Structure 1
Amino acid sequence: MEENRTEASAASKPARARNRRGEGGRLREDIIAAAVELLDEAGDERAITLRSVARRVGIAAPSIYPHFPDQPAIMLAVVRREFAELERGLRSAVEGAGGDPRRRLFAICEAYLEFAQTHPERYRAMFGGLWMPTLGDSSLTEADLSALGAETLHVLVDALGACVAAGQAASTDPFADAVALWLGLHGLAHQRAVTRAFPWPEDIADRVITALAHLKDA
């Protein structure tokens, strides 16, 4: 009953024109984009079903099967897409921050927090707050799950390593400290989302970054 109400509320599009030969990839991307729209609107992965996605794209539900065998496979594609988008944002922040390693690290962290604030539903899905993947799902493997977010973490590891090489950070294990820094950023992003009335110090992000990255005085 709940699923029917959710699906009924999803806006549908007119029937989609049939793809020309070789355009199956475009339909796959349309399916993922429709799932992201539904997630943004409902804030709940339960709004993403084969029927609701098909209705949003303007196709029959069976047309999804050549691209995705089930709903978990669609969610995995959504999460992968958003991690790729996050990675692009972090790398763009690096490019725009100039040559100073410390400035680049702060730019990455600020871009991460901005992504979490701008796309809260997607962010929660990426980190299991909405979508809880399990290896029991037919389309998921251990390699699928362990790879999620790996490239975004590498951006942070590389940035912290550059700070160490420049003598700006005292970390003796950039990978472990980058993981700790990510956990700090993730915790701050989560608490900002769920504890809106808390009197956050204006420099709380700077404090988290400086402490967990073991940055030296500028």
Structure 2
Amino acid sequence: MADEATASTRPRNRRGEGARLRDDIVDAAVELLDETGSESAVSLRSVARRVGIAAPSIYRHFPDQPAIMLAVVQRAFGELETCLRDATAAAGDDDPRRRLYACCYAYLHYAREHPERYRTMFGGAWMPSLGDTSVTVQDVETLGDGCMRLLTDGLRDCVAAGISQVTNIEADSVALWLGLHGLAHQRAVTVAFPWPPDIAERVIAALAHLTSSSAPSPRS
């Protein structure tokens, strides 16, 4: 009865506006995650209450709770990809080193500004056994593909310009991502540690096998 009463607070969508309700559901899930920092707070009932609909209405768009979380994570990866792309473009076309650093700094900035989303993107706590949910192996395997391509392209440009000694671009792109992810994670979970002020530059330069040169200063 409570769900029905709550549902009455939201106007019924007009024909063709089902996509708006889907977006509202994902918006509500993201808000709950940001506010609580816990995937467990994102339940069908809590999302329905936040949107103002009856919980069964969610099933028209999401067959189960993991499907909602998948949409949340997909949106977060889309946000991250946009940040990386925008930062790379803003760095200009003249210096591939600057573009790569800009891309990496943007990655670390997103992780710092959205800790709950970032942890969920890579934590996997929201993911049950794939046999018990509508989420597929392909859904999970393709998460973050666009972000990885941008890092790989940045590294490839540095190799082409002769400022990186990488010999296996795909493998070293993964190594670079692991370094960024490790730094982002440790910064988030370590309450007190005397991080060197240039630790990001050191990680990027080492894992990208860049030739000696001063690193561009981070823009964030």
2-structure distance, mates of 1:143, 1:191: 29
Task: Confirm or deny that 1:177 pairs with 2:163.
Answer: no
Query: What is the aligned residue count?
Result: 207
Q: 1:49 aligns with which of 43, 58, 69?
A: 43
Structure 2 length-normalised TM: 0.91
Amino acid at match of 1:120: P
SS of 2:60's equivalent? coil
* C-alpha contact 2:165 2:210 (8 A) present in aligned 1: yes
Residues 62 and 209 of structure 1: CA distance in aligned 2, closer, same or farther (over 3 Å): same
Amino acid at match of 2:71: A
Structure 1 length-normalised TM: 0.92
Aligned to 1:6: none
Aligned to 1:16: 10
Q: 1:25 aligns with which of 6, 19, 29?
A: 19
Deviation at 1:141, TM superposition (A): 1.0
SS of 1:65's equivalent? helix
Deviation at 1:129, TM superposition (A): 5.3
Deviation at 1:175, TM superposition (A): 1.0
Task: Confirm or deny that 1:37 pairs with 2:31.
Answer: yes
Deviation at 1:128, TM superposition (A): 1.7
2-structure distance, mates of 1:175, 1:133: 29
Give runs of aligned pairs for residues 75-94 of structure 1, distance below 5 A. Answer: 75-94=69-88
* C-alpha contact 2:7 2:54 (8 A) present in aligned 1: no
**Which has the higher relative contact order, 1 or 2, with Cα contacts under 8 A spaced 6 or more apart?**
2
- Unpaired stretches in structure 2, ≥5 consecutive residues: 1-5, 214-220
Aligned to 2:130: 135
RMSD: 1.3
2-structure distance, mates of 1:14, 1:213: 55
Q: 1:209 aligns with which of 204, 212, 220?
A: 204
Give runs of aligned pairs for residues 109-128 of structure 1, distance below 5 A. Answer: 109-128=104-123
Runs of at least 4 residues off by over 3 Å: none
Task: Confirm or deny that 1:107 pairs with 2:102.
Answer: yes
